A and B are shown apart, each in its own frame.
Chain A
């Protein structure tokens, strides 16, 4: 009896000792992150490096003899290409313009919703709709509203006597860019609105009371109390939106496919057209890489901001 017990001590149960070993933070911790990390390495990091490699080759879809290393030839071709130049301008214009109006209108929406007490949650849910439904499908609704013959906007504006002739919403380059931005702003307002509202509600009420006693009006209250205290949330939401808007695809794909005559492409839609529709994988991969610098800059700012907040 005594012998078996001491033997048991000398040779511990392997399952129990494994479970004890596995229970350590330095073992369990990495083990639990491993599945996530594995997926991110295989399907984000690896494809990203493949993308860089592709951009230095003449790889084409369904051309067996392609895929040779051609250095920076793709990038030289792009810089000389007027469609690409136009696309670069478009992307910046689209992102800066849309984000600005999303921020202003979203801030306004947050301020309004903050004051609404009646059916509070109902209104919040209702106004979130443009943000939550599939963008490609709501963009179809806009495609119909911008129709060259039956545009409801034209019919309402003509009836009201505000315009004398139909506006060609999607058929003229400058107006088409504007129309695309309208749709992007429409979709993004609720995201800004609800996120900023969440930030607003963390501002202590007594700060407003104090500034009211000091005789500050609504306008001064906004600039002296609300705006500075809302700055962290605003910065995070804006940076996130810049990244997403800069890389937008669906709205342009559904509404104009980059037309008329390639005048409304963004980097993402030009990537699709070059790599998938024209089959030039290498050149397309090169186009998509132009979305990377803005991502990097935004990430750096975001990380700095989050670290400072902590």
Chain B
């Protein structure tokens, strides 16, 4: 009796240990690159390019790379560009996506299922399949090499995404709520605005958060559709202007890469709950 209880406890401790070892394993492999980028961005050049120094430590910290980045490059400009493009395209997509999701999830009419399928399929289309003809179309519209080009093309992947995510949220709200408002004489749109949307705020926030991230991180359209240096988005600016043929400013580059990721990481730390919920909704419901 005693022996079996001991072996049970032993197994339990072993299980605990293996869980924490597993966690440690994932922390190391998934976060090491960030640690190394961080270290590199604060390291003076004579340490950075000296093979006899420990690559994982810093002897004397420096802010030189960051000062150079903010003063000598267009970093701030690109940051503004990325923010503007992400805010506008997210705004457009949230509005259009919310009403589309309401319609697809709640209303009954002919073709509603087919429409839902169209949205789902366009959600899966990778941007790299379309960027060449899209550049051609955008040029014919006279929008080539303008920020507007990004603001109108990003919704092509943001709208399907927001719609799909928000359809799940709409389905979770009991129909009786709006029906009771409509019995009181409200139209559907009024019921949507006054009863449903306030409940939908968490869903809309998480869709907006996702959409902002997706447009902040977008690369292929930004690379092909906005080529003038002053209108580039942050990722494209850093990759195409700071990586100079043979001379790498590794300290500056690592600083730029980290700073460019900070807005996204901050958003997440504030809205993590919403994010995991949104991702879960997306994953479980497909």
Contacts and interface: CB of A to CB of B under 8 A. Distances in A.
Contacts, number: 292
Given A23-B188, A195-B279, A271-B132, A37 B26 contact: no
Given A36-B159, A136-B239, A28 B188 contact: yes
B155 interface: yes
Interface in B111-164: 111-112, 115, 117-122, 124-137, 152-153, 155-156, 159-160, 163
A161 interface: no
B243 A276 contact: no
Contacts of B257: 137-138, 140-141
A167 to B, nearest CB: 15
Contacts of A253: 219, 223, 239
B268 interface: yes
Interface stretch (A71-79, A149-157, A171-179, A220-228): A149-157
Nearest to A158: B51
Majority DSSP secondary structure for residues of B touching A = helix
B226 interface: no
Interface stretch (A6-14, A82-90, A119-127): A119-127
A28 B112 CA distance: 12
B99 interface: yes
B33 A37 contact: no
Interface string B224-245: 1000000000111011000100
Chain B, interface size: which category? Answer: 35 or more
B58 to A, nearest CB: 13
A29 B275 CA distance: 29
B130 A44 contact: yes
B125 A44 contact: yes
B122 A112 contact: no
Given A28-B188, A112-B19, A140-B239, A39 B156 contact: yes
A144 interface: yes
A99 interface: no
A28 B103 CA distance: 8
Interface stretch (B34-42, B60-68, B172-180, B198-206): B34-42
Interface in A20-69: 22-23, 25-26, 28-33, 35-37, 39-40, 43-44, 46-48, 50-51, 54
A299 B131 CA distance: 20
Given A36-B163, A127-B30, A272-B223, 18 more contacts: A25-B107, A29-B108, A33-B100, A33-B103, A48-B130, A111-B22, A121-B276, A127-B31, A130-B30, A133-B217, A134-B217, A134-B260, A142-B33, A249-B128, A250-B219, A267-B128, A295-B126, A302-B286
Q: Which 8 A-B pairs have the closest CB atoms?
A: A247-B126, A51-B133, A268-B128, A195-B283, A29-B107, A112-B22, A32-B103, A198-B280
19 contacts: A25-B107, A25-B188, A30-B111, A40-B160, A43-B134, A50-B137, A129-B31, A136-B235, A144-B248, A189-B30, A194-B276, A198-B280, A253-B219, A253-B223, A271-B128, A284-B132, A295-B124, A302-B124, A303-B120
